[in-house]
Protein backbone atom coordinates (compact mmCIF):
# COMPACT_ATOMS: atom_id res chain seq x y z
CA UNK A 1 0.00 0.00 0.00
CA UNK A 2 1.37 3.38 -1.03
CA UNK A 3 2.04 5.96 1.66
CA UNK A 4 -0.14 9.03 2.02
CA UNK A 5 1.25 11.56 -0.43
CA UNK A 6 0.92 15.32 -0.03
CA UNK A 7 -2.19 16.80 -1.59
CA UNK A 8 -1.61 18.54 -4.90
CA UNK A 9 -4.82 20.55 -4.66
CA UNK A 10 -6.45 22.99 -2.27
CA UNK A 11 -7.73 21.72 1.05
CA UNK A 12 -10.74 24.03 0.77
CA UNK A 13 -13.87 22.31 -0.55
CA UNK A 14 -17.10 24.17 -1.33
CA UNK A 15 -20.01 23.01 0.84
CA UNK A 16 -23.19 24.29 -0.79
CA UNK A 17 -25.45 23.71 -3.79
CA UNK A 18 -25.61 27.44 -4.52
CA UNK A 19 -24.18 27.93 -7.99
CA UNK A 20 -23.53 31.66 -7.68
CA UNK A 21 -21.29 31.11 -4.69
CA UNK A 22 -19.64 28.15 -6.39
CA UNK A 23 -18.83 30.19 -9.49
CA UNK A 24 -17.48 33.02 -7.33
CA UNK A 25 -15.11 30.92 -5.24
CA UNK A 26 -14.08 28.61 -8.07
CA UNK A 27 -13.21 31.73 -10.05
CA UNK A 28 -11.06 32.86 -7.13
CA UNK A 29 -8.95 29.69 -7.66
CA UNK A 30 -9.02 28.58 -4.03
CA UNK A 31 -11.20 25.45 -4.26
CA UNK A 32 -9.94 21.88 -4.50
CA UNK A 33 -13.36 20.24 -4.74
CA UNK A 34 -17.03 20.48 -3.83
CA UNK A 35 -19.51 18.42 -1.87
CA UNK A 36 -23.25 17.97 -2.24
CA UNK A 37 -25.82 16.18 -0.11
CA UNK A 38 -29.62 15.89 0.05
CA UNK A 39 -29.99 18.73 2.56
CA UNK A 40 -27.86 21.17 0.56
CA UNK A 41 -29.73 20.38 -2.65
CA UNK A 42 -33.12 20.70 -0.94
CA UNK A 43 -32.22 24.12 0.47
CA UNK A 44 -31.60 25.39 -3.06
CA UNK A 45 -34.79 23.80 -4.42
CA UNK A 46 -32.84 21.35 -6.58
CA UNK A 47 -34.54 18.09 -7.54
CA UNK A 48 -32.79 17.19 -10.79
CA UNK A 49 -29.43 16.16 -9.38
CA UNK A 50 -27.64 15.19 -12.63
CA UNK A 51 -28.67 18.49 -14.20
CA UNK A 52 -27.26 20.40 -11.23
CA UNK A 53 -23.99 18.44 -11.25
CA UNK A 54 -23.69 19.13 -15.00
CA UNK A 55 -23.94 22.86 -14.28
CA UNK A 56 -21.18 22.56 -11.68
CA UNK A 57 -19.02 20.69 -14.21
CA UNK A 58 -19.64 23.43 -16.77
CA UNK A 59 -18.19 25.90 -14.29
CA UNK A 60 -15.30 23.84 -12.93
CA UNK A 61 -14.34 21.49 -15.77
CA UNK A 62 -14.26 17.75 -16.12
CA UNK A 63 -11.48 16.95 -13.64
CA UNK A 64 -12.81 18.83 -10.62
CA UNK A 65 -13.89 16.45 -7.80
CA UNK A 66 -17.57 16.72 -6.87
CA UNK A 67 -19.00 14.47 -4.17
CA UNK A 68 -22.45 13.12 -5.09
CA UNK A 69 -24.32 11.39 -2.28
CA UNK A 70 -26.36 8.21 -2.36
CA UNK A 71 -29.45 9.85 -0.83
CA UNK A 72 -30.92 7.04 1.28
CA UNK A 73 -29.03 4.65 3.54
CA UNK A 74 -32.04 2.31 3.37
CA UNK A 75 -31.50 1.61 -0.32
CA UNK A 76 -30.39 -1.94 -1.06
CA UNK A 77 -26.71 -2.51 -1.69
CA UNK A 78 -27.49 -3.35 -5.32
CA UNK A 79 -29.40 -0.10 -5.76
CA UNK A 80 -26.59 1.88 -4.15
CA UNK A 81 -24.03 0.28 -6.45
CA UNK A 82 -26.22 0.81 -9.50
CA UNK A 83 -26.72 4.51 -8.74
CA UNK A 84 -23.00 4.97 -8.04
CA UNK A 85 -22.11 3.42 -11.39
CA UNK A 86 -24.58 5.64 -13.24
CA UNK A 87 -23.16 8.80 -11.66
CA UNK A 88 -19.62 7.67 -12.44
CA UNK A 89 -20.46 6.93 -16.07
CA UNK A 90 -22.17 10.29 -16.49
CA UNK A 91 -19.44 12.31 -14.74
CA UNK A 92 -16.32 10.13 -15.07
CA UNK A 93 -13.77 12.81 -14.22
CA UNK A 94 -15.77 14.44 -11.45
CA UNK A 95 -17.93 11.99 -9.52
CA UNK A 96 -16.87 11.02 -6.01
CA UNK A 97 -19.60 8.77 -4.61
CA UNK A 98 -20.66 9.67 -1.08
CA UNK A 99 -21.71 6.53 0.75
CA UNK A 100 -23.74 7.29 3.92
CA UNK A 101 -22.61 5.34 6.98
CA UNK A 102 -25.66 4.46 9.05
CA UNK A 103 -24.47 3.60 12.58
CA UNK A 104 -27.29 1.06 12.93
CA UNK A 105 -25.85 -1.03 10.11
CA UNK A 106 -22.18 -0.06 9.59
CA UNK A 107 -21.21 -3.24 7.75
CA UNK A 108 -23.64 -2.42 4.93
CA UNK A 109 -21.85 0.83 4.09
CA UNK A 110 -18.44 -0.83 4.31
CA UNK A 111 -19.51 -3.56 1.89
CA UNK A 112 -20.68 -0.93 -0.61
CA UNK A 113 -17.51 1.12 -0.12
CA UNK A 114 -15.34 -1.94 -0.66
CA UNK A 115 -17.23 -2.98 -3.80
CA UNK A 116 -17.02 0.49 -5.33
CA UNK A 117 -13.31 0.70 -4.57
CA UNK A 118 -12.64 -2.65 -6.21
CA UNK A 119 -14.48 -1.40 -9.30
CA UNK A 120 -12.21 1.64 -9.42
CA UNK A 121 -14.92 4.08 -8.35
CA UNK A 122 -13.80 6.87 -6.06
CA UNK A 123 -15.58 7.12 -2.71
CA UNK A 124 -16.30 9.65 0.00
CA UNK A 125 -17.47 7.76 3.12
CA UNK A 126 -19.82 10.29 4.69
CA UNK A 127 -21.79 10.91 7.90
CA UNK A 128 -18.80 9.92 10.01
CA UNK A 129 -19.43 10.75 13.66
CA UNK A 130 -17.06 8.31 15.32
CA UNK A 131 -13.50 7.15 14.91
CA UNK A 132 -14.82 3.62 14.43
CA UNK A 133 -16.83 4.62 11.37
CA UNK A 134 -13.91 6.53 9.86
CA UNK A 135 -11.38 3.76 10.46
CA UNK A 136 -13.81 1.13 9.18
CA UNK A 137 -14.34 3.08 5.96
CA UNK A 138 -10.61 3.57 5.50
CA UNK A 139 -10.01 -0.15 5.89
CA UNK A 140 -12.82 -0.91 3.41
CA UNK A 141 -10.92 1.28 0.94
CA UNK A 142 -7.53 -0.35 1.57
CA UNK A 143 -7.71 -2.39 -1.65
CA UNK A 144 -9.37 0.30 -3.75
CA UNK A 145 -8.41 0.33 -7.42
CA UNK A 146 -9.61 3.89 -7.93
CA UNK A 147 -7.32 6.24 -9.83
CA UNK A 148 -7.36 9.24 -7.53
CA UNK A 149 -8.07 10.09 -3.91
CA UNK A 150 -10.70 8.46 -1.73
CA UNK A 151 -12.09 10.31 1.27
CA UNK A 152 -13.54 9.74 4.73
CA UNK A 153 -15.64 12.54 6.22
CA UNK A 154 -15.80 13.53 9.87
CA UNK A 155 -18.82 15.69 10.72
CA UNK A 156 -17.27 18.05 13.27
CA UNK A 157 -20.33 19.89 14.58
CA UNK A 158 -22.46 16.77 14.73
CA UNK A 159 -19.64 14.82 16.43
CA UNK A 160 -19.62 17.37 19.24
CA UNK A 161 -23.41 17.13 19.47
CA UNK A 162 -23.07 13.35 19.71
CA UNK A 163 -20.59 13.82 22.55
CA UNK A 164 -23.13 15.90 24.46
CA UNK A 165 -25.75 13.18 23.95
CA UNK A 166 -23.38 10.46 25.11
CA UNK A 167 -22.40 12.40 28.22
CA UNK A 168 -26.06 12.83 29.18
CA UNK A 169 -26.64 9.10 28.79
CA UNK A 170 -23.63 8.28 30.98
CA UNK A 171 -24.75 10.70 33.67
CA UNK A 172 -28.22 9.12 33.65
CA UNK A 173 -26.57 5.73 34.17
CA UNK A 174 -24.81 7.02 37.29
CA UNK A 175 -21.44 8.19 35.96
CA UNK A 176 -20.23 11.47 37.45
CA UNK A 177 -20.31 14.36 34.98
CA UNK A 178 -16.53 14.95 35.02
CA UNK A 179 -15.79 11.28 34.42
CA UNK A 180 -18.44 11.13 31.71
CA UNK A 181 -16.82 14.06 29.91
CA UNK A 182 -13.45 12.31 29.98
CA UNK A 183 -14.90 9.09 28.59
CA UNK A 184 -16.28 10.58 25.36
CA UNK A 185 -14.12 11.99 22.56
CA UNK A 186 -14.93 15.31 20.94
CA UNK A 187 -14.44 16.08 17.24
CA UNK A 188 -10.87 17.31 17.69
CA UNK A 189 -9.83 14.15 19.52
CA UNK A 190 -11.63 11.92 17.00
CA UNK A 191 -9.81 13.64 14.13
CA UNK A 192 -6.42 13.33 15.81
CA UNK A 193 -6.89 9.65 16.64
CA UNK A 194 -8.10 8.88 13.12
CA UNK A 195 -5.10 10.57 11.53
CA UNK A 196 -2.79 8.58 13.80
CA UNK A 197 -4.49 5.33 12.79
CA UNK A 198 -4.19 6.13 9.08
CA UNK A 199 -0.49 6.84 9.45
CA UNK A 200 0.20 3.79 11.62
CA UNK A 201 -1.68 1.44 9.30
CA UNK A 202 -0.49 3.04 6.07
CA UNK A 203 -3.90 3.99 4.66
CA UNK A 204 -3.79 6.71 1.99
CA UNK A 205 -7.38 7.96 2.22
CA UNK A 206 -7.92 11.70 2.66
CA UNK A 207 -9.72 13.06 5.70
CA UNK A 208 -12.44 15.62 5.08
CA UNK A 209 -13.90 17.62 7.95
CA UNK A 210 -17.46 18.83 7.37
CA UNK A 211 -20.41 20.00 9.47
CA UNK A 212 -18.47 23.17 10.20
CA UNK A 213 -20.28 25.73 12.35
CA UNK A 214 -17.65 28.43 12.77
CA UNK A 215 -14.28 29.78 11.68
CA UNK A 216 -12.67 28.44 14.86
CA UNK A 217 -13.56 24.90 13.79
CA UNK A 218 -12.02 25.42 10.33
CA UNK A 219 -8.75 26.52 11.84
CA UNK A 220 -8.73 23.84 14.53
CA UNK A 221 -9.35 21.09 11.98
CA UNK A 222 -6.51 22.25 9.74
CA UNK A 223 -4.17 22.72 12.72
CA UNK A 224 -4.73 19.09 13.77
CA UNK A 225 -4.01 17.84 10.26
CA UNK A 226 -7.26 17.54 8.29
CA UNK A 227 -6.51 17.18 4.59
CA UNK A 228 -9.67 19.05 3.63
CA UNK A 229 -12.34 21.16 5.28
CA UNK A 230 -15.58 21.54 3.37
CA UNK A 231 -16.89 25.03 4.04
CA UNK A 232 -20.20 26.81 3.34
CA UNK A 233 -19.80 30.05 1.34
CA UNK A 234 -20.94 32.19 4.26
CA UNK A 235 -18.14 30.80 6.42
CA UNK A 236 -15.59 31.21 3.61
CA UNK A 237 -16.50 34.91 3.67
CA UNK A 238 -16.19 35.09 7.44
CA UNK A 239 -12.86 33.27 7.39
CA UNK A 240 -11.43 35.86 5.01
CA UNK A 241 -12.81 38.92 6.81
CA UNK A 242 -11.58 41.07 9.69
CA UNK A 243 -12.70 44.61 10.42
CA UNK A 244 -9.13 45.53 11.28
CA UNK A 245 -8.12 44.27 7.86
CA UNK A 246 -10.63 46.64 6.22
CA UNK A 247 -9.27 49.54 8.25
CA UNK A 248 -5.70 48.64 7.35
CA UNK A 249 -6.40 48.37 3.62
CA UNK A 250 -8.22 51.70 3.66
CA UNK A 251 -5.32 53.30 5.54
CA UNK A 252 -2.82 52.12 2.93
CA UNK A 253 -5.10 53.08 0.02
CA UNK A 254 -5.60 56.57 1.43
CA UNK A 255 -1.87 57.00 1.96
CA UNK A 256 -1.35 56.36 -1.75
CA UNK A 257 -4.32 58.44 -2.92
CA UNK A 258 -3.19 61.45 -0.87
CA UNK A 259 0.01 61.73 -2.96
CA UNK A 260 -1.08 59.89 -6.09
CA UNK A 261 -0.15 62.72 -8.46
CA UNK A 262 3.41 62.80 -7.11
CA UNK A 263 4.15 59.08 -7.23
CA UNK A 264 5.76 57.08 -10.00
CA UNK A 265 4.65 53.46 -9.86
CA UNK A 266 6.91 51.97 -12.53
Residue 225: is its pLDDT beyond 60? yes
Q: How many CB atoms lie within 10 A of CB 99?
A: 25
23 is a domain residue: yes
Question: Degrees (nearest 5) of the Cα angle 83, 86, 90?
Answer: 145
Residue 6: is its pLDDT beyond 80? no
146 is a domain residue: yes
How far is residue 45's CA from residue 105's CA, in Å, rounded to a whole number?
30
Q: Which domain holds residue 42?
A: 12-262
Contacts of 68 (CB under 8 A, 6+ apart): 36, 49, 53, 87, 91, 95, 96, 97, 98
Residue pLDDT, tens place only, 139-164: 999 999 999 999 999 999 999 999 99
7 is a domain residue: no
How far is residue 24's CA from residue 19's CA, in Å, rounded to a whole number?
8
Residue pLDDT, tens place only, 37-95: 999 999 999 999 999 999 999 999 999 999 999 999 999 999 999 999 999 999 999 99
Residue pLDDT, tens place only, 93-111: 999 999 999 999 999 999 9
Number of domains comprising the chain: 1
Do residues 53 and 13 touch, judged by C-beta distance below 8 A? no
3 is a domain residue: no
Q: How many CB atoms lie within 10 A of CB 200?
A: 8
Task: Identify the H or E element spanning 97.
Answer: strand 95-100
How far is residue 67's CA from residue 126's CA, in Å, rounded to a whole number?
10
Domain CATH for 191: 3.20.20.70
4 is a domain residue: no
> What pLDDT score was predicted for residue 182?
81
- pTM, two decimal places: 0.93
> What pLDDT score was predicted for residue 4?
59
How far is residue 89's CA from residue 155's CA, in Å, rounded to a whole number?
28
> What pLDDT score was predicted for residue 183?
84
253 is a domain residue: yes
Residue 1: is its pLDDT beyond 70? no
140 is a domain residue: yes
pLDDT band at 2 (very low <50, low <70, confident <90, very high): very low
Mean pLDDT of the chain: 96
Amino acid sequence: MAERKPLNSSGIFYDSANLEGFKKWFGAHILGGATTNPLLLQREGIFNIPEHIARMVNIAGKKFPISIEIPDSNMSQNDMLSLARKYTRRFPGNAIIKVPMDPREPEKAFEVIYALGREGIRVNATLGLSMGQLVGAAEALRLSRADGDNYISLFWGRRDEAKAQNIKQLIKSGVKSKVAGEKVSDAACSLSMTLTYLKTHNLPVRVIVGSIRGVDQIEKAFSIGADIVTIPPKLIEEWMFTQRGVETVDEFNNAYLSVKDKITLI
